[in-house]
Every structure is written in structure tokens, then in C-alpha cells.
Amino acid sequence: MIKAVNLTLKDESEKPVVSNLSFEIYKNDRIAILGRKSELSTLLCHALAGILQRTHPSYSVSGSILYAGQPIEEIDSHERTNKIAYVPPFADLLISGVKDTVFGEVALSLELTGIERDLIHERVNRILQRFAIEKLSNRDPDELSGGERHKVALAAMIVRAPDVLILDNPSMFLDTTGVNNLLSILRAYNGTIIIADPNPYIWAAVAGRFITIEKSGIVPYDSPAALIHALEKDAVHIDVPSWHELLLMLRQPLIIDTEVTSFRSLGSLRTIIRAMQ
Amino acid sequence: MIQCTDLTYRYPNGQGIHNINVSIGKRSMYLLAGSNGSGKSTLLKVLAGGLLEYSGTATVDRLHIYKTNRKKGGQFTVALSPQQPETQFSLPTVRDELRFTSKAIKQPVDTDLEEKIIQILQLSEFLDSSPFDLFPVRRKLLSLAIAAVIPSPFIALDEPTAGIDQEHKNQVLEFIRFLHTQKGVIVVSHDIDTFLPMATDIGIMEDGVLVESSEKNIFLEKFMRGKYSTSVRRPFIVPRMAHLLTNEPASSIGELAGTIIGTMTKKQRK
Amino acid sequence: MIRYLPHPVPVFLFLVLIIISGFTLSIEVRFIVSVMLLLLFTFHIHGNKILRTIVRIVIPLCIAIGLFMTFIYPETEQWLTIAGIRLSRDGLTAAGEMTSRILLLFTGIIAFFNLITIQRLGSYLYQNNLPVWLVFILINGLKFVDRFKYKLSEIHFYQRLRGMPLENIWQRWKATVKILIPLLYFMIEESSNRAIALEMRGFTATTRRTTLKPDRQSTIDKIITILISGIIIFILLRSILL
């Protein structure tokens, strides 16, 4: 679906930040980008969303990213945004303020695509409920707190159900309930998800494949097993303080949907503590 | 110390904080948690003297907040760093930004403090570059540093780890631990996992009301006994430890909690 | 307190009525209408605030212009002499003409913005097939002053918090550049990021679109619309016929 071919990015000083990267993303893939530098994961997200040349005009790009066989920057911008949605870390700016209610703001995303009215109501209500912000639906988006606005922006992007959803640091301003709701939405999502977030909890809960940003370069892993294997052999140089936490989570993913259900037993906890020590 | 009685602040739309009663000790590390829109940031802004039309009383070291407002030439009480770091950037270099406060109040620069902060946050190689040339993560670090050099008895940090990547998170934690040796620290964060081990007191806000405020041990004990409704517990449920606490018999929980907190702290010190 | 929020159509007509009457009605009627509008504001939720702005800005402006016109007007027929200053009847009329017009227009425009929320205006424009980016620009243009003020107060607060002296005018003047730098940064940064963000929201769409809930006029709105249209037609006819 999305294919990177020999992608190389150089910054202003001609220093390569990404060199010769090739990977392929298939339909309904769940990919986590993990790494030590948020600049780099943001850069990669922009490249995958086809907006890199506008956000980083001083960077030189060689190689290409193809969406359905077509270079991503050449696709008509409207068509592209209908298929690929990129949610920036400061999602706040996604709120246009054109509508006077949260409901209207979220619905605007669907109105623009020309979907029937009844369907809009249904889909907007559903997404607001799943983010647990239905009680905000009649409030003015300008009067909400930062975290609430973040949820509204996420809802407004996800409600359009794009084929590819790229989330850049979505958990930054979300409370725990917000993160849980987001995760349960993402798990049920019918489409490709690319998520860059420093929180290992999110990687473990959503991702099936991983792209790690290591000191030596960017390495794709095709399954949690592959990453676990590499982590155990100490072959992953992502320098993430919580990498062993990640390892634990990959081994025993928690069930998150409504509330965390169980940690199995005291015994398993002791193993974890031992592992942490 | 910070002392609030019946502190109330309402925005024109009726939202805000209501009847906050809290006292925060001189050397505490107060972790303020709560869901989005529960009024945590509003409380910080009131304490820092940004929203003066409050009712009730709020004092820092016996000084009323409205008297401490810098507009009226008051003294520094609660330093607060803005959510958008660029709000304070107005000078040519990072060093100028760090020395701004001492220059403004005509005091000699506390070089030890400055150096220590620069060292912890690893800003030394950027001292002569413009703050706007920094990457977003370092801008955030700089804004934390700017708040830290203000000679105030308290510092409040609103989501200090938001927007901080793994590479820099440890620096921020170390920075907060260092600040805690110097002054009272108030941290607002959703990242309970990270801050619970180092906190001394915990407050939980819900719909503009401070529903809980106590020492960590007392809080954990209450928590274990299942005193709180699920809505209060929710922010603490996902953290692996806290959930566990609710399912196990009290005796083993105390021990376990101790172990986990101990390990976490140890782990972070490394 | 009245919590009736009128539909954009009668509010627009109201604005048209105010502008037309500013040019056609006689001085006395204009003053009477202005006073009636001012009285209406006392029923408004933010009535005190609105009246305060009018008392502080509009009325001093009217008085200044009135005095200016009265004394500067080219002398035609001497009418009154007070302490050596001569007043002319024409000058007084011109002053009345001018002040009544300003008072009426200002109160009318202030009333307009308080009768309608900016977003409702936006929803209405969107519903009438204005391109969504244009609606966005219009709405945010109208909100600009508020956002600017908010951002400025934010910068003032945080700069003051770290010791920047901003107590008197001289200190504020010296700090202008330091305040302007972050302000400009936000304006530029926001606008460039905004463009991308809105593209991501699908604002470049040119395809068919639906509207969620057409903002239709209620019975009261319709009655008011008819009434105002009637008055407008009456005024226009009268000024044409006379």
C-alpha cells in the first residue's frame, strides 16, 4: 500500500538523517515507530503523509514513497488527505473554530465529504461516545481545556475513517482514560495505522510491526516476535529507558478495552519485578 | 508553604475550580492528577498569580497571591513554565534567556545553580544559539530551565514530560529530582507511572474540585482499601502497580507497593 | 435576561436598517433610535460590558467630533456668542448630523456582533455554499482581535512571572520588542501550521458536501425579518418619494 524505496533525507547541512530506507506497509498494518528522537519520528511521519517538502523545505529528499504505486507528493492534495490522515502532535490546530459546538466541529469533517446527514449524526455520535466526550458535544471548542481539545481533534480526524491513519505522539496531552479510549478505537479500526509515540504501552497495545530509529539507522521489524528476539539479544540500540518495560509488555499484552482486567497473579508480578531489577 | 482555603475561580463560561482547600509543604513534591479539563492547569495559573479574580484565600508563605503578583512589584512565589515554550523566548541566545531573571531583578547570577541546570538538561552546546533554532524538545527543556532559575520558593510544572522524547525524559526526571532538593515542586501530569515514585503528596482533581489531597502513603493506603469511586481511581488504574493494589489482600499489597516503588526509583536513578 | 439568539438573516437585515437609517433619518430620530438600542443592551447578558465600551469610546468620540464640527464649521450665519466664541446654526446642525450618525452606526455594529455569535455566522455561511476555507478565513479574521489579546496577555503574564518589569508605560515601552518577538513567532508559526492542519481536515475539498443541520429561521425570526424588511422598504420609499 505504502512503499518506501531507497528513501534518503538530508538536512540543511547535507547531513543524512535517514539513509537508504526501504520498507513496505500493507493494508491494515499496525506499525509503531519507536526511537529516541521525536524529531526523527516526526520527520518520518511527515514523509509518509506526503507533506515533508512543505514542512521541511530545507531538507533534500531522494528515493521515493509510493502510495498505491504513485509517488505520494504527486497525488492531488485533496485525494491524498481523504486517504491518508496525519494527526500532528499539536492536534489543537486541527480545530477550525468554524462551528460553535464540538459536535459541529467533528461533523464538519464528514460534511466536507458529502456523506448523508443521518449517517453523519450516527458516526459523530459514535466517535464522541468512544472518546467519552459526548458530554462536551454542545460546548464551544474554543472554551475547552488543552486535553479536551486534543480529544476533539483526534475524533474529528478518526471519524473520517481514512485508509491510513498516521498518529504523531497522540498520547501527549491525553489522560489515562483518553489513552485507553484511543487504544480501543485503534484496535477496532479498519485501516492501516502508523503510530509514533514515546509510550511503550501504546506500542505494545496497538502495533504488530515496528520501525525503530536506532543510532545506526532506521530498522523495520516485521513482528513483535522479531523485536522481542532482537531485544533479548540486546541487538536493538534504541536507547529507550523503558525498553525492558516494552519487552515485558510485548510478552504479556494487557487487555485494555474498558479497564485493565488483570495482572494474572502475584507470581507473574514477582517475575516482572525481578526482570526490572 | 502554599495554603488555599475555599479557593474558587470561574471562567466566564462557568467552568473553573471550586472550593479548593489544600496546603502544600515547603519541601514537598506534589503530584496533581486528574482527567482532561478537570481544572489542574487553572489551579496552577491561580497559584502563579495569573488569574487574580479568585475568591477565597490563597497564600504562599503567608503572602496573599494577589499581593505577590509581579504586576504590583511583589516577590517571586510560584514559578510556572508555559505550555508553549516560545511564549517566553525573546532574547538572542539561550544564555541570555537563562540570565534574564537575575538581570531584571538586578541580582548576581547564581552560577552554581545555572551550571547545574545546564548540565542536567544538557543544554551546554546550545548556549550561544538562538532559542528559536532549537528543536521543539530542547525548547521545552529550555523553558523548564527558565522557570527553574527564578528565585521562588515553589515551582509548578504543567505536563513537564509532554512532548519530551525518550532520549530526554530521563533528563527531565533528574531535573525535577534536583529541583525537589532546592524548593517545593508541584507537578501536573497524566504520567502517573513516572511521577508516583518520587511524589511526596498526591492530589486528584475532578470537575474543578480537589477530591483528594494527602500524603502518598496515606493515599496509597486509602487507595488499597478501595476507598475511591472508579472515576477517581481511573487515572491510577492503568499504571500496572496501582491496578494490582486493588486486587490483592492488604498485607501483601503494602509490601509489593513498597517493592515496586523502590525498584522504580532505583531504576530511574541508574 | 433575554436568551433569544436571532437567526443571521434578521441580524443582517438589522445591520442594513441601521446603515440606511444612518443616512436617511432625521437627527432626532437617529438619536432616539440610538438611545433605544442602548436601552436594549441593558437586557443583554454582557450589557454592562457593552455599555462601558460605548461610554468610554463612542460617546467621547461623538463629543469630540461634535465640538470640532460646531466650532470649525465655516461661518454662515451667526447665531450665538458664548464668551467670545461664535456658534453658527449650520455648524450645530452639521455636528448633530455627524454625531448622531456615528453614534447610531457604532451602536448598531456593536449590537450586530452581540446579537450573533461568530460561529453561528460561520455555520450559516457554510450552509449557503461558501467555500469552507473562505468561511475559515472570515471567522478567524473576526476572532483575530480576541485571539491576539489573549496571546498578548499570556506573554505578558509569563514574562512578568520571570521578572520582566511591566508596571508602568515606560517599562512597557522598553519591553515592546521582547513582547513582540514571541507574538510574531506565534502568528507566523500558527498560520503555516494551520494551513497544513486544515488540509489534513479536508478543507481543500471541492466535492459535493452536506450540511448537518440547516439553520432555519424560527417563527420569531420570520416575524422580525418581515418587520425589519417592512421598515427598510418604508424608509427607502419615503426618501425616494420625498
Instruction: Nearest by CB to B36, from A169, A175, A238: name it.
Output: A175
pLDDT of residue A129: 92
Mean pLDDT score across all residues of chain A: 79
pLDDT band at C56 (very low <50, low <70, confident <90, very high): confident
Of C104 and B243, which is predicted with more confidence? C104
Check whether A4 has a pLDDT greater than 90: no
pLDDT of residue B73: 52
Check whether A152 has a pLDDT greater than 80: yes
pLDDT of residue B29: 92
pLDDT band at A262 (very low <50, low <70, confident <90, very high): very low
Is the CB of residue A47 less than 8 Å away from at least one CB of chain C?
A: no
pTM of the model: 0.80
pLDDT of residue B30: 93
End-to-end CA distance of chain B: 32
Tell me which residues of chain C, numbers 163 to 192, contact chain B at a CB-CB cutoff of 8 Å.
Answer: 163-167, 177-179, 181-182, 185-186, 189
Please identify every stretch of chain B with a pLDDT value under 50, giving residue numbers as ranges. Answer: 71, 229-270
pLDDT of residue C38: 79
Cβ-count burial B218-233 (b if 16+ within 10 Å, e if not): ebbbebbeeebeeebb
Which residues in chain A are contacts of C139 at CB distance < 8 A?
Answer: 97-98
Domain boundaries, chain A: 2-240, 241-277
Mean pLDDT of A22-39: 83
Check whether A255 has a pLDDT greater than 70: no
The CATH superfamily assigned to A2-240 is P-loop containing nucleotide triphosphate hydrolases (3.40.50.300)
DSSP three-state, residue A51: coil
Is the CB of residue A58 less than 8 Å away from at least one CB of chain B?
A: no
pLDDT of residue B175: 93
Of B248 and A184, which is predicted with more confidence? A184
- Residue B94's identity, in one-letter code, is V
Any idea which of A68-82, B175-189, C207-221 has the lowest mean pLDDT? C207-221
Sign for the CA dihedral angle at A236, A208, B260, B189 comes to positive
pLDDT of residue C141: 82
Question: Over the stretch A84-121, which tens digit does the pLDDT of each residue have?
Answer: 999 988 778 888 888 878 998 999 888 888 888 889 99
Q: A with C: how many residue pairs have Cβ under 8 Å apart?
A: 101
CA–CA separation, C127 and C172 (whole Å): 45
pLDDT of residue A28: 87
Question: For a pLDDT cut of 90, what percent of chain A falls above it?
Answer: 13
Residues C71 and C91 sit within 8 Å (Cβ to Cβ)? yes
Chain B residues with CB within 8 Å of chain A CB: 11, 13, 15, 34-37, 41, 83, 135-137, 159, 162-167, 169-170, 190, 192, 230, 234-238, 240, 243-244, 247-248, 252, 256, 259-260, 263-264, 266-268
pLDDT of residue B74: 57
- What is the torsion angle, in degrees rounded to the nearest 10, for the CA atoms of residue A217, residue A222, residue A227 and residue A233? -80
pLDDT of residue B67: 64
- Total residues belonging to chain B: 270
Sign for the CA dihedral angle at A66, A70, A72, A74 comes to positive
Mean pLDDT score across all residues of chain C: 79
Q: DSSP letter at A253?
A: P
pLDDT of residue B69: 54
Check whether A260 has a pLDDT greater than 80: no
